[in-house]
Amino acid sequence: MQKNIKDFVKGERIEGFYLIKSLNLKTSSNNSKYFDMIVADASGEIDSKIWSIEDDQVDLYQQGDIIKIRGDVTEWMDRLQLKIIKHRNLELGDEVDYKDIVPSAPRDEKQMLAELEENLKNIGNSEMRELCLKAFDLHKDKLLYYPAAMRHHHSIRGGLLFHLLRMMETAKALCRIYEANEDLLITGVFFHDLQKLEEMEANELGMVSGYSKEGILLGHLVQGVREVRELGRQLGTSEEILLLIEHMILSHHYEPEYGSPKRPMFVEAELLHHIDMIDARVYDMQKATRDILPGEFSEPVFSLDRVRVYLPVLEK
């Protein structure tokens, strides 16, 4: 079992599969080429070097590759550094678990996808159910690995799927309390961020390389409304239901400065906004306190208006 980067110790030799997070070809003082890299796994990252790169090796790797490496953990300017002495690309037969390599949702992606499909099949309103399942079939492959964001909440492999499922559980609970329409709220949860799958460009590691042209020019709210309208046209969905879902997509950011041209105008739309905010902010708070001790404060969290999150001292 390979060692996590966060557990590396100066002086040890390590071997395993790691992700190339950044890669630059440089020239040393003796005019020899070398790779200046940051390699990463799900636990962290480390500055790394591959020395003496020959001319026919300059295109050997690129950012985003997973490679097998053997190296010595050293120290440079009070920071750990990895001197890579042996390396190769992935080969057929290599067994690599993406969860070890990149930050991933804490649940198995196939189980999450099956749970999402079951939630959609349980929607009582036939028009909403058909609309959701039509979209599910179109996007289920990408849902296995897409993050919910490029940098902020749930920016992990499978993060969007994890986000949707947690929101749906919250939605079910709030519908019981406030007597809201569960079919409509579950449908709104499913569609509210679904077009992030087309807004962002990501690989199967869940790494976002940028935004699509439509993502830049329109954004996932407008893309989402357009998809619902088109799928509804194909299925003959009633105008009332389409309008409700479109309004929920457009209003879930709440404020014009965050992209919403309308504020929520019915209960399920209002609940959708707050459920989305709860899940996003709780995720960021829990992430910020993951590596600190009870009684300590996190570093300022940009997505939480630079709040330093406190981890309470409580008995379990």
List pLDDT tens digits, range 5-16: 999 999 999 999
Q: What is the pLDDT of residue 5?
A: 94
What distance separates the 2 farthest-apart alpha carbons in the chain?
Answer: 73
Residues 25 and 94 in one domain: yes
Q: Would residue 315 count as lying in a domain?
A: no
pTM for this prediction: 0.85
Residues 109 and 92 in one domain: no
Q: Tell me the per-residue pLDDT of 120-142, one tens digit each, with 9 for 90 and over.
A: 999 999 999 999 999 999 999 99
Residues 113 and 84 in one domain: no
Q: How confident is the model at residue 50 (pLDDT cuts 50, 70, 90)?
A: very high
Query: What's the mean per-residue pLDDT of the chain?
Result: 94
Q: Would residue 248 count as lying in a domain?
A: yes
Residues 117 and 53 in one domain: no
Q: What is the pLDDT of residue 99?
A: 86
* Residue 196, number of CB atoms within 10 A of its CB: 25
* Residue 129, number of CB atoms within 10 A of its CB: 17
Which of 49, 77, 98 finishes a domain?
98
User: How far is Cα 308 from Cα 244, in angstroms, rounded to an integer?
Assistant: 38
Q: What is the pLDDT of residue 179?
A: 96
Q: Would residue 293 count as lying in a domain?
A: no
Residues 189 and 111 in one domain: yes
Q: What is the pLDDT of residue 259?
A: 85
Q: What is the pLDDT of residue 96?
A: 87
Q: Tell me the per-residue pLDDT of 93-119, one tens digit each, with 9 for 90 and over.
A: 898 888 888 889 999 999 999 999 999
Residues 93 and 112 in one domain: no
Residues 253 and 277 in one domain: yes
- Domain of residue 45 covers 5-98
Q: What DSSP character marks residue 125? A: S
Residues 40 and 157 in one domain: no
Instruction: Confirm if 201 and 147 have CB atoms less than 8 A apart.
Output: no
Q: Would residue 82 count as lying in a domain?
A: yes
Q: Tell me the per-residue pLDDT of 240-282, one tens digit each, with 9 for 90 and over.
A: 999 999 999 999 999 988 889 999 999 999 999 999 999 999 9
Domain count, the chain: 2
Looking at the predicted structure, is the pLDDT value of residue 21 above 90? Answer: no
Q: What is the pLDDT of residue 169?
A: 98
